[in-house]
């Protein structure tokens, strides 16, 4: 399978999950502005919506929408710690959190990246986002992950969101549990491998 990604974008969530569960994959970088792949071909031919992530399966089918790609990978992994099986109520708790991250956090951040958003609109979104992050910080508690000791589907997604706070919200000092979570995720081999692959590992980019 092949993951279409852009460095540091929300596609990093399935990218990390692929490494967590050890599924073999290729990764193709997308220039989101030009909607082009590195070989110059048209990304819109892969995903007419123009967004990452997209996951091309060996059958040739292309799956889009982060929340669904994560769920697909969780099922492919067949690994109950990551995504409990159908019929197990804990599955819906995990998916509930993925959905919250997608609709309540990710989409609000997306708005802050929009160059046409006015300062006034951005302040409204920032204040709203703060409340959502207060909730997540409380849910996380001592963690270390959203559902305790094991990394589950929503953790890589939440990690990406916390990575965006530096630029957009002045960091995570207001949310100590989220800050500890972010630092803990940075220690994971899967995360470091993906950051290195995407050219974002700080110790390597600053030397
Ligand atoms: N509905 C999509 C949205 C994904 C999304 O917003 N991706 C951003 C990067 S984080 C993107 O590709 N933006 C460029 C664009 O939409 O043109 C999903 O949930 O997967």
CB of 190 closer than 6 angstroms to any ligand 1 atom: no
Give me ligand 1 centre to Cα 167, in Å.
18
Nearest residue by C-alpha to atom 11 in ligand 1: 51
Tell me: do 184 and 200 sit in the same domain.
no
Total domains, the chain = 2
CB of 161 closer than 6 angstroms to any ligand 1 atom: no
The CATH number linked to 199 is 3.40.30.10
Tell me: do 98 and 178 sit in the same domain.
yes
At 141-177, the pLDDT tens digits run: 999 999 999 999 999 999 999 999 988 888 999 999 9
Tell me: do 57 and 70 sit in the same domain.
yes
Is the pLDDT confidence value at 87 over 50? Answer: yes
Is the whole-model pTM more than 0.85? yes
Tell me: do 124 and 178 sit in the same domain.
yes
Q: What pLDDT shows up at residue 153?
A: 96
User: What's the domain range around 171?
Assistant: 89-188
Tell me: do 35 and 50 sit in the same domain.
yes
Could you write out the DSSP letters of every residue in the chain?
A: -EEEE-TTSTTHHHHHHHHHHT---EEEEEETTTTEETTS-BGGGT-TT-PSPEEE-TTS-EEE-HHHHHHHHHHHHT-TTTSPPTT-HHHHHHHHHHHHIIIIIIHHHHHHT-TT--HHHHHHHHHHHHHHHHHHHHHHTT-SBTTBSS--THHHHHHHHHHHHHHHHS-STT-HHHHHHHHHHHTSHHHHHHHHHTT--HHHH--
The CATH number linked to 134 is 1.20.1050.10
């Amino acid at each position: 399978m092949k993951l279409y990604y852009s460095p540091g974008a929300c596609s990093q969530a399935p990218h990390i999950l692929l490494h967590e569960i050890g599924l073999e994959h290729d990764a193709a970088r997308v220039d989101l502005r030009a909607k082009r792949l590195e070989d110059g071909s048209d990304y819109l031919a892969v995903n007419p919506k123009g967004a990452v992530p997209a996951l091309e399966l060996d059958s040739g089918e292309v799956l889009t929408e982060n929340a669904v790609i994560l769920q697909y990978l969780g099922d492919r992994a067949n690994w109950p710690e990551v995504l409990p099986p159908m019929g197990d109520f804990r599955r819906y708790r995990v998916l509930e959190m993925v959905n919250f991250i997608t609709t309540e956090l990710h989409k609000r951040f997306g708005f802050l990246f929009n160059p046409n958003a006015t300062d006034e609109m951005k302040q409204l979104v920032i204040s709203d986002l703060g409340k959502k992050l207060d909730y997540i910080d409380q849910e996380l508690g001592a963690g270390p992950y959203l559902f305790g000791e094991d990394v589950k589907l929503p953790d890589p997604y939440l990690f990406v969101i916390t990575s965006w706070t530096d630029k957009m919200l002045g960091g995570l000092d207001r949310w100590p549990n989220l800050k500890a979570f972010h630092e803990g995720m940075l220690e994971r081999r899967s995360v470091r491998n993906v950051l290195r692959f995407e050219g974002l590992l700080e110790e390597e980019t600053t030397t």
